[in-house]
Amino acid sequence: DTGVSQDPRHKITKRGQNVTFRCDPISEHNRLYWYRQTLGQGPEFLTYFQNEAQLEKSRLLSDRFSAERPKGSFSTLEIQRTEQGDSAMYLCASSLGSQETQYFGPGTRLLVL
């Protein structure tokens, strides 16, 4: 499968714990995006990378959230000191460039107890 992959697919954690998600984009895609989706809502933009550079962050991305994309390949999204309000589906997408369609991964569903 040469699509966008995300790991893990599901994560259950206790409030206050740290979690890290991984996204592997389509191999030649230089842009990578993170979104968050809560039940009944469309995905909300969090941040995006052009190669290894993080170019924009949404106001939704609080100080407890950090994303990296070392070497411009895979990306990680870390949430520190998780809160129940962080429970959501975290989606990753990639595109070949700024004008290209975004292709989404299957998402990581996070449940914070």
Partner 1 sequence: LAKTTQPISMDSYEGQEVNITCSHNNIATNDYITWYQQFPSQGPRFIIQGYKTKVTNEVASLFIPADRKSSTLSLPRVSLSDTAVYYCLVGAGGYQKVTFGTGTKLQVIP
Chain positions contacting partner 1, by CB under 8 A: 4, 31, 33, 40-45, 48, 55-56, 58, 89, 91-93, 95-107, 109
Please give the structure tokens belonging to residue 58. Answer: 């949404």
Measured from the CB of residue 3, what is the shortest distance to partner 1 in angstroms?
9
- Of 79 and 93, the one with the shorter C-beta distance to partner 1 is 93
Give 9 or 15: the residue with its C-beta nearer to partner 1.
9
Residue carrying the six token digits 């009944």: 40
Nearer to partner 1, 27 or 99 (CB): 99
